[in-house]
Amino acid sequence: MATGKSPTCSVIYSQAPYWENYRLIFPFLVDNWQHFYYIDFPPKFENTEKTYPSILIGIAMAEIYRLCEICTPQIVKVPWYSCLQWEIDWWNEDIYWYLQQKFYLEKWNWDKMPRIEFSSNYTENNSFPSLNDTYLLAVSGGKESTFSFEWMQQANLPTEAFTLHNAGGILGNNWLEKFPVFDYIKNQTYLWEIQAHPQEDPAEYFAYQGVRNDPTITNALFIMMIIAIQQGHRFLVLANDKSSNESNTTYQGREVNHQSAKGAAYIERFNKFLERKGMPFRYVSICEEVYSIGAVHQLSLWNKNILNDLTSCNEAQ
């Protein structure tokens, strides 16, 4: 895995997000460089009028983690979002879960972790709608998520599917060519296909050569919430296999696991956060008791032909 000396900056500044038609836009300043992160929703998505700040902040923080990995600041400022002290502490711990691999591989000291500051004027008063005991399952075209979809179909659980396409990678914007299994999924339920992409890749702008551990889990969960509000889904389902719970090493007194946001400890932590915030969702994980080979074996028993259509997560990036 690539390592390298990362660029640094003084401050990353998150500006208030806003909608333009079906596009949700998150602006940032990295010192004086203007950065935009776009999330494109399909026309079936109707509710662009009101998006809860407590959901928007999660998407903003995911992009902040990505920016901090590429160009590490001394401080992050988020003046458009206000929260209580316990939540400030929660986000300042959350950043460790995503930057730990970078700090370990590039041998940064933990005290260099950027501090996140929010507005001190707490005004948020969320009133979420009632949701149903139905499921929104994140699918990636890979082994575990396809196993989870097949399992939920066989269990007759009311499920819609969700995927987050990140433009770029080997095929650039032609990402649909990477996911043949999605045709199979679309024949059985609705697949929410969301595309996320920067206006300009910050890694290219800053000539970053270091490790990448993009915060896909946080990003996906909070984007899923936007859809779940409209569709009435309570359960946000991800497929995380057994290896997600296994630490890779220990560095300066902290465990390091590049898949930590998929593990049982993080899932419990995230669900406690949702409960304390009064948010009506629950992060559910499937496949925790088996490794990838176990999921593939079970899929081969259910539907051997589907194995030809799977895409590994590494190929799909």
Question: What percent of the chain stands above pLDDT 70?
Answer: 77
What is the DSSP pairing of strand 11-14 with strand 23-30? Answer: antiparallel
Give a yes or no: residue 127 inside a domain.
no
Query: 44 is written with which tokens?
Result: 């079936």
User: Is the CB of residue 175 less than 8 Å from the CB of residue 167?
Assistant: yes
The strand ranges marked E within the chain are 11-14, 18-20, 23-30, 33-40, 75-82, 115-119, 132-138, 159-166, 191-198, 233-239, 249-251, 254-256, 282-286
Of 79, 95, 119, the residue that ends a domain is: 119
Q: What domain range includes position 92? A: 11-119
257 pLDDT band, cuts 50/70/90, is low
Taking only the tens place, the pLDDT of each residue in 207-252 is 988 777 677 888 999 999 999 999 999 999 987 655 544 556 787 8
Do 172 and 304 share a structural domain? Answer: yes
Give a yes or no: residue 246 inside a domain.
yes
Do 161 and 33 share a structural domain? Answer: no
Give a yes or no: residue 185 inside a domain.
yes
Taking only the tens place, the pLDDT of each residue in 21-30 is 999 999 999 9
pLDDT computed for residue 159 by the predictor: 92
Give a yes or no: residue 5 inside a domain.
no
Torsion angle defined by CA atoms of residues 102, 103, 106 and 112, in that order, rounded to the nearest 10 degrees:
130
d(CA 281, CA 52): 13
Do 177 and 99 share a structural domain? Answer: no
Q: Which amino acid is present at 219? A: N
Mean pLDDT over 39-65 rounds to 90
Query: 143 is written with which tokens?
Result: 């082994």
* CATH code of 105's domain: 3.30.420
Query: How is residue 48 annotated by DSSP?
Result: -
* Neighbour count for residue 118 (Cβ, 10 Å): 22
**Crossing angle (nearest 10°) for helices 85-105 and 53-70:** 30
Give a yes or no: residue 4 inside a domain.
no
Helix (H, G, I), strand (E, B) or coil at 197: strand
Taking only the tens place, the pLDDT of each residue in 138-195 is 887 666 777 778 888 887 889 999 988 874 444 455 555 556 667 788 888 999 999 9
Of 119, 147, 180, the residue that ends a domain is: 119
Do 143 and 25 share a structural domain? Answer: no
d(CA 248, CA 253): 13
